């Protein structure tokens, strides 16, 4: 499978000179299976440019969009995804049915005055809503998707994609749990104890894409906000024995230079702990083939 990052930023889009390298669009990743089936994870603002490309390249197979959860930064690009306005496409939106709301509630909410000028009638594509649940496996021929609920707002899901013996986990937004003490690194034993279910889910995977919203020095002001710091993530990844760790969902106030610092500290931590994990910092348009 191949995957490409169209948005790597958390919370809110931050275009501008200080975010040119890692990018300012909110979460969106394109996955192509070995059979060239298309899956899109999350519909942050990065999905707009992906939609333009699909229209230009005359892509006519089904489009599957998986929504990890419906916080704004994960759905705010949806109405600007051009394939919705063309009869040529069939789009399946897969999302968790949270608080008893059917997943088509996403459109009812986004397309309601006074927030948007048009109602759902402008959608020309065939659109289907499919409910996802946690701790389940969904099969699309030889391509499998496993789900698990994470430590964020109710019903937020992580996904594990499995094909030809390769495994990729997308786990954002997630707060790795431990008791934080200012100016101290977390204890590995405590991270393992408090995050066992998620560590097992990520065990031995080829790639883990994970929320790395904060550098640990900023974390004491953000405890309980549902996001992780770089050092707790490094420990989590070591405990799960992942091969490649991809940093994702950056804090919107972080400039490229601040993200460079976050990466440097994470790399040093992994080296000092004799970890062989390959650390990768996601940036817009980054492509990987596994
Ligand atoms: Zn988010
Ligand atoms: Zn969120």
The residue written with tokens 């699309």 in the block is 140
Ligand lying closest to the C-alpha of residue 211: 1
Is the distance from CB of 261 to CB of 22 less than 8 angstroms?
A: no
**Distance from Cα 88 to the centre of ligand 1, integer Å:** 30
The residue written with tokens 């050092």 in the block is 231
Is the distance from CB of 13 to CB of 24 less than 8 angstroms?
A: yes
**Distance from Cα 71 to the centre of ligand 2, integer Å:** 5
Predicted TM-score (pTM) of this structure: 0.97
**Distance from Cα 272 to the centre of ligand 1, integer Å:** 30
Q: pLDDT at position 280, please?
A: 98
Q: pLDDT at position 82, please?
A: 96
Rounded to the nearest 5 degrees, what angle is found at the Cα of 136, between the Cα atoms of 105 and 197?
110
**Distance from Cα 72 to the centre of ligand 1, integer Å:** 8
What are the residue boundaries of the structural domains of the chain, listed by start?
2-282
Q: pLDDT at position 112, please?
A: 87
Q: pLDDT at position 160, please?
A: 98
**Distance from Cα 204 to the centre of ligand 2, integer Å:** 26
Ligand lying closest to the C-alpha of residue 76: 1
Is the distance from CB of 210 to CB of 247 less than 8 angstroms?
A: yes
What is 2-282's CATH number?
3.60.15.10
- Give me the average pLDDT of each 10-residue run along the chain (290 residues): 98 98 98 96 98 92 95 95 94 84 79 88 91 95 97 94 98 97 96 98 98 97 97 98 98 98 98 98 97
């Amino acid at each position: 499978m191949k995957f490409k990052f169209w948005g790597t930023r958390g919370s809110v889009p931050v275009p501008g000179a200080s975010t040119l390298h890692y990018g300012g669009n909110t979460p969106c990743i394109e996955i192509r299976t070995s059979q060239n089936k298309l899956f899109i994870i999350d519909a942050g603002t990065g999905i707009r440019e992906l939609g333009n490309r699909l229209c230009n390249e005359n892509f006519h197979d089904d489009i599957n969009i998986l929504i990890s959860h419906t916080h704004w930064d994960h759905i705010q690009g949806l109405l600007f995804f051009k394939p919705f306005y063309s009869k040529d496409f069939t789009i399946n939106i897969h999302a968790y049915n949270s608080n008893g709301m059917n997943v088509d509630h996403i459109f009812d909410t986004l397309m309601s005055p006074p927030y948007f000028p048009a109602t759902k009638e402008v959608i020309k594509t065939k659109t289907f809503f499919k409910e996802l649940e946690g701790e389940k496996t969904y099969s699309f021929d030889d391509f499998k998707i496993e789900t698990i609920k994470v430590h964020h707002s109710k019903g937020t899901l992580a996904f594990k994609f499995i094909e030809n013996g390769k495994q990729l986990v997308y786990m954002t937004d997630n707060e790795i749990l431990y008791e934080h003490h200012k100016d101290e690194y977390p204890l590995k034993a405590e991270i393992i104890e408090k995050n066992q279910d998620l560590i097992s889910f990520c065990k031995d995977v080829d790639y883990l894409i994970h929320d790395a919203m904060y550098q640990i020095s900023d974390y004491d002001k953000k405890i309980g906000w549902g996001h992780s710091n770089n050092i707790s993530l490094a420990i989590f990844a070591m405990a799960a024995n992942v091969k490649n760790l991809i940093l994702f969902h950056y804090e919107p106030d972080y400039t490229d230079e601040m993200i460079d610092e976050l990466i440097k500290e994470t790399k040093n931590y992994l080296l000092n702990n004799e970890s062989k994990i390959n650390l990768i910092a996601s940036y817009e348009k980054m492509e990987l083939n596994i």
